[in-house]
Amino acid sequence: MANRIGIHALVWVGGWSEAEARKAISSSAETGYDLIELAALDPGNFDAAMTKRLLTEYNLSAGVSLGLDYETDVSSDDDDIVAAGRARLELALNLVRDIGGDYLGGAIFSRLGRYTKPVTERGRANSVASMAWLADKAANYGVTLGMEFCNRYETNVINTTAQTLDFIADIDRPNVVAHLDTYHMNIEENSWREPVLAAAAAGKLGYVHVGESHRGQLGTGSIGWTEFFGALREVEYDGTITFESFSSEVVHPELSSNLSIWRNLWTDNIELATGARQFIRENYGS
């Protein structure tokens, strides 16, 4: 397979000053990755020109992911909150465009965090309409949107591949894809193979996060890697595979709290990144 192999920026840094950006981008390239995924919860505060310059210097691609908050939740019943969410998503899309990226994903369809009740019919409709609106804008820049279904503690809109495919069908835009994440699948799915086959059969398998069950080093938890990578090979998946791992060693002021990153799962991020890259190479071949 000729997959683009990525790594999440929070493996390296919690912020995005020029020094932090250089560390993250250079370290990603030096440890064998093709892409870095930027965590842009506040996309308006990213220096896109600086980021693009460093990406060019180190010959690295980039994607952008984020999760919305209470004030910008496009799955809300409140029209003002939905409008604020669309404004933030447009900033994120502009960031992808300005750094020369081609992917915007994450929990862009809802707030990233625990809900206390199911999504309402109106809230889901607002989310679908917002994703269609964003997809139309993204198409102008050649950007793909990824719906990253998350576990029940991080969203109430889509938690499984089947729900995600239904959601994408309602959006009905060609540049919207399913974003599968093994960490969330480990909680919500009952198979490692069938969701991959279902997304591929729908023509919507577009992005993959590989993360361990405890969010540490690959191969040290309970993820069914043989079945999962086998399914990707079976459908001849040639899209991006991004390694995602979090530890209290690197703290993002919002994301670390949203994801409940309380434990120090690793301290040496070079060792972590190198080991994960080797694990992917040995178990998938890319």
Distance CA 204, CA 157 (A): 18
Amino acid present at 250: V
Tokens 């994607």 label which residue?
63
Q: How far is CA 127 from CA 19, 67, 107, 108, 122, in A?
A: 36, 13, 11, 9, 9
Out of 37, 154, 212, 244, which one is annotated catalytic?
Answer: 244
Q: Give counts: helices (H), strands (E), the chain.
A: 10, 8
State both tokens at 32.
Answer: 């064998």
State both tokens at 10.
Answer: 């929070």
Examine the residue annotation and report whether 189 is marked as an active-site residue of this protein: no
Strands of the chain (E only): list them. 5-8, 35-39, 61-68, 103-111, 144-148, 176-181, 205-210, 240-243
Out of 37, 148, 154, 212, which one is annotated catalytic?
Answer: 148
Examine the residue annotation and report whether 282 is marked as an active-site residue of this protein: no
Q: Among all residues, which ones are annotated catalytic?
A: 148, 244
